[in-house]
A = this chain, B = another copy of it.
């Protein structure tokens, strides 16, 4: 072995330089398997290093398995330690992956939008500060697997006041978004049988279910919501529904259909209903539609809701309410799962709710969104859009359905709108078949992100595009 020379001025410590040199020698085969290394003392002398430096380098090589130390006999190169030097090798270069693209249109009728200006930043910051200033270990040690008790209690109160349903904190499971909670539901209910989903419906639901190994079964939706009469013959065991505000058709499932759905579930011991109540807080007139969960007497409804809509999409906090029987099973078999939401966020949100900020925030945003919806309907009339198009489903949730009385295809109209810098979303894309059941072109019109003063211009452009 050549005696290496080292640079004592380099930022790389001497032991590190020696370590790298020796590793290189071994990996390249310059030092063969079972070859004996110079004693620490002699190498220190030759290389003008301290014995401690050599010792440190040697013990690192021992730790990584490049050399072994044998009692009184010294250090030897390990077998099979030869390997192409990695730090020198060029790592595989992935093709730069596309970022998520945003629409370039001036006005976007997206349904998953929220308006930043509504978010109570200063309040949230104040509460975050309050939480962090506590500096106690409960903030840092792993949170309760179902979510911190304060937050679960706040959710229970919220559900009672906003949705009129009474549940226990022990039934609540807080999680990092509804998508994550749905995967937990699959783990909890198992992968046997099929999971029925609404067709048309929220495409992610099907994707999440099947990625989690569930067999998905699309069931048609009529004017009353999911066709419960088709559930029995379909052989589905679990069904995912949005009774308070069907996505995308913006329908409310009437009480008779709800009863039929609950009766279907009651017929077999292992049938369950996943009620996704994703934007029930945003019913814009009258009182909120009652949750299906409140009608459940058989412990068959798993209630799912999120703060993504009511606070911000970036706020990955959702929760589910398990029927008592399932909640007990969850505690037995799923308690090893750590809570997926940072405790800071959980405590902050709990305070936010306890102090009534969420309630106020929802009232405020609801009023603002209502103003936007009204502005949209008004402009539609004034600009003459309603002369050849009809809005429906405006009371629940943050989008309407626009039916255009034109013979053109949805693609053509979407394209025409885009040319006027308006992004609209055709209804057909939410159908399994890719073809909406309406005989006229329909579009989902989300208005949450549109500024009131822009709405007339947006509608004017639509009229120009489709006239």
Residues of A within 8 A of B (CB): 16, 19, 56, 59-60, 63-66, 78-81, 83-84, 86-87, 89, 91-100, 112-114, 116, 119, 121, 124-125, 128-129, 132-133, 135-137, 139-145, 149, 164-168, 170-171, 176-177, 179-180, 183, 187, 191, 203-204, 207-208, 211-213, 224, 252-260, 285-287, 289-290, 294-295, 297, 299, 312-317, 323-324, 327-328, 331, 334-345, 395
Residue from the list B116, B253, B286, B317 in contact with A65, Cβ < 8 A:
B253
A33 vs chain B, min Cβ distance (A): 10
Residues from chain B with Cβ under 8 Å of A341 in the complex: 176, 316, 342
A132: contacting residue among B89, B128, B343, CB under 8 A: B128
Cα A395 to Cα B171 with chains together (Å): 43
A323 touches B213 (CB 8 A): no
Tell me whether A116 and B137 are in contact (CB under 8 A).
Answer: yes
> Which of B92, B98, B145, B191 sits near A100, CB closer than 8 Å?
B145
Asked if A211 contacts B340 (CB within 8 A), the reply is no
Name the 3 nearest CB pairs between A and B, nearest first.
A65-B254, A94-B324, A116-B137
Give chain B nearest CB distance to A179 CB in angstroms: 6
Q: Is the CB of B66 within 8 A of A313?
A: no
Which of B79, B95, B113, B289 sits near A324, CB closer than 8 Å? Answer: B95
B92 lies within 8 A of A119 (CB): no
Compute how far the CA of A123 lies from the CA of B343 in the bound complex, rounded to whole angstroms. Answer: 17
Known interface pairs A100-B145, A112-B142. Does A252 touch B331 (Cβ–Cβ under 8 Å)? no
Report B-chain residues with C-beta under 8 Å of the C-beta of A59: 285-286
* A311 nearest CB neighbor, chain B only: B140
Instruction: Give min CB distance, A426 to chain B, whole Å.
Output: 18
How many angstroms from the CA of A259 to the CA of B294 in the assembled complex?
Answer: 59
Complex interface: chain B residues within 8 A of A255 (CB): 64-66, 78, 80-81, 83
Given contacts A92-B323, A289-B63, A342-B345, contact A295 B86 (CB under 8 A): yes
Q: What's the minimum C-beta distance from A375 to chain B, rounded to whole angstroms?
A: 20
Q: Verify A83–B259 contact, CB threshold 8 A.
A: yes
Chain B residues, CB < 8 A from A289: 63-64
Return the chain B residue nearest A188 by Cβ: B211
A204-B83 contact in complex given A116-B139, A116-B140, A140-B114, C-beta closer than 8 Å:
no
* Contact A141-B114, Cβ < 8 Å, known A81-B256, A97-B328, A324-B92: yes
Taking the closest CB of chain B, its distance from the CB of A353, in whole angstroms, is 16
| Cross-chain contact A314 with B97 (CB below 8 angstroms) | no
Assess whether B335 is in contact with A168, with CB atoms less than 8 Å apart: no
Contact B100 A286 (CB under 8 A): no
Q: Which residues of B contact A328 (CB under 8 A)?
A: 94-95, 97
Say whether, besides A137-B116, A260-B80, A187 and B211 are in contact (CB < 8 Å). Answer: yes
Can you list 16 contacts pairing A with B, beta carbon distance less than 8 Å?
A: A63-B252, A64-B252, A65-B252, A78-B256, A80-B260, A83-B255, A91-B165, A100-B335, A116-B139, A125-B129, A128-B129, A207-B336, A212-B213, A213-B213, A313-B338, A344-B345
- Are B116 and A287 in contact, CB atoms less than 8 angstroms apart? no
Which residues in B have their C-beta under 8 angstroms from that of A324? 92-95
Complex Cα gap A452–B177 (Å): 40
Q: Cβ of A294 and Cβ of B86 under 8 Å apart?
A: yes
Contact B80 A338 (CB under 8 A): no
- Interface pair A141/B313, CB less than 8 Å apart: yes
Bound complex: CA of A275 vs CA of B167, how far in Å?
Answer: 41
Name the residue among A16, A140, A290 with the largest chain B CB count within 10 angstroms.
A140
Residues of B close to A191: CB separation below 8 A: 213
**Structural contact, A180 and B114, CB atoms closer than 8 A:** no
Asked if residues A295 and B180 are in contact (CB atoms below 8 Å), the reply is: no
Residues from chain B with a CB closer than 8 A to the CB of A180 are: 176, 180, 340
Kindly state the separation between the CA atoms of A171 and B314 in the bound complex, as whole angstroms: 22
Taking the closest CB of chain B, its distance from the CB of A85, in whole angstroms, is 10
Q: Is the CB of A295 within 8 A of B83?
A: yes
Q: Which residues of B contact A65 (CB under 8 A)?
A: 224, 252-258
